[in-house]
Structure 1
Amino acid sequence: MPAKIAIIYYTTYGHIRKLVDATAAGVKAAKGADGAPLNAEVTIYQFPEILSDEILAKQYAAPKDTSIPVIKATDLPQYDGFIFAFPTRYGRAVAQASAFFDSTGGLWASQALNGKMGSIVTSTATQHGGQETTVATTLPFFAHHGIIFVPIGYKSKLISTTDAVQGGSPWGATTVAGPDGSRQPSELELELAAYHGEHFASIVTKYVS
């Protein structure tokens, strides 16, 4: 059976959504060691919004994509792995993601997610704004549920590039949005996000099979 992967995201200005699309493409393109397609299934969800339309308007937030379903905690057990994608706030997960994590108490009590696999994609305003701490401070959620964290390591040479401002680390794919949000994900960052998806799909497929 092909691995079933959910990508669950929150985006304020659209940066994360661009990474998500590249990551999903990577999942779909993933191949095994023999070059055969893995045919991993990927479904994209949004985190529930907790802010009012008035506050979102004051933040100049991008409109929601109504074609993407909103995740419910009860949706999670049907998947073999999850890629959570969300911006950074003060070096940790954005409130919308944290609120959703808090809603999974029933799954924690039954350990319904124990043995599933998870990975994280994020963005920051600056290069030193918490790309790694955001992942690190999300790991307790993984640990309490028994979700196995899958980083991407240094296998991809894209992480070691120093020619320009860029996101991405062994913890996972990221982007740098700029203090005013004007910087968009670079081609290198999108390529790394695609690699993240491919790598995650290959690891989850090995585990499932």
Structure 2
Amino acid sequence: MAKVLVLYYSSYGHIETLAQAIAEGARQAGATAVIKRVPELVPEHVAQRAQYKLDQPASVATVSELPEYDAVVIGTPTRFGNMASQMKNFLDQCGGLWLEDKLVGKVGSVFTSTGSQHGGQESTILATHTVLLHLGMIVVGLPYSFKGQLRMDAVSGGSPYGASTLADDGSGGDRQPSANELDGARYQGWYVARVATALSVSPVRETQ
């Protein structure tokens, strides 16, 4: 049974909602899925003034626990076409794990959200993939076997790089993840768990 960590950062709850769907999909594939978040860097009074969602029940992860999992699925909102600084700060602390090859052969996957259709969903996921590859992880996306990616009847996030959602309704108002976007997240979680399970049977060869 694969063990999957859904590691996310969410300011307003959109990524948190997708994280729950990712974990649900992983469990449907028979994996154990744990949802955790990275530490907030914004001072509490600033976060309150910006109306951040501060009542998220997920516990805060530590870098040292990452090797305990067969797969790590990272969720981050987009900040100018890249991951949020909270997630980057967390990943920047993985130098010790990199030095000891602790994440080599683990599955890595990414999902995201933006405020608009062309707000950097794909660039954010691809930029995060670069970090995963440096850590020696095996990158898994959202394959086109999830047919929701081909829908043209409604605005929807999702790409072959990973699940995503749009957080703005186009008029500055809040938009929650759609049914299709949540289905994509569940499929990604399921697919990650399946790949991680297969790899756990045939582990990556260590150098001598």
The bucket for the TM-score relative to the shorter chain is over 0.9
8 Å contact 2:110–2:129 — kept in the other structure? no
* Aligned-pair CA distance for 1:64: 3.2
Distance 2:190 2:98 in 1: 28
Q: Any idea what the Cα deviations from partners look like across 1:174-194, whole Å, max 9, x if unmatched?
A: 000116350110111111111
Offset, 1:78? 0.6
Name 2:68's counterpart in structure 1: 78
Deviations 1:26-84 (A, max 9, x none): 11112xxxxxxxx211111111111101221222111232x321111101011111000
Q: Which runs of 5+ in 2 are unaligned?
A: 202-208
The equivalent of 2:84 in structure 1 is 94
What letter is aligned with 1:8? L
Q: CA RMSD in A?
A: 1.1
Please show how residues 106-145 of structure 1 align to structure 2 within 5 Å: 106-145=96-135
* Residues 137-156 of structure 1 aligned to structure 2 (within 5 Å): 137-156=127-146
Segments of structure 1 that go 5 or more residues without pairing to the other structure are: 31-38
- Could you state the TM-score of these two structures normalised by the residue count of structure 1? 0.92
CA contact (8 A) 1:7 1:44 kept: yes
Shift >6 Å, 4+ stretches: none
Asked if the contact 1:6–1:45 (Cα under 8 Å) also holds between the matched residues in 2, the reply is: yes
Aligned counterpart, 1:20: 19
Q: Provide Cα deviations, 1:82-140, integer angstroms capped at 9, x if missing partner.
A: 00011000000001000001111111111111111100010000010011000111122
Residue identity matched to 1:53:
E
How far is 1:155 from its partner? 1.1
Instruction: Report 1:26-41 matches (<5 A).
Output: 26-30=25-29, 39-41=30-32
Query: 1: distance between equivalents of 2:118 and 2:176?
Result: 17
Instruction: State percent identity of aligned pairs.
Output: 39
CA distance in 2, matches of 1:60, 1:95: 18
Partner of 1:169: 159
> When the two structures are superposed, what TM-score results if normalisation uses the length of structure 2?
0.92
Contact 1:10 1:16 in 2 (8 A): yes
The one of 171, 181, 192 aligned to 2:184: 192
Contact 2:109 2:129 in 1 (8 A): no
The answer on whether the counterparts of 2:142 and 2:184 sit within 8 Å (CA) in structure 1 is no
Contact 1:131-1:174 at 8 Å conserved across structures = yes
Matched position secondary structure for 2:72? strand
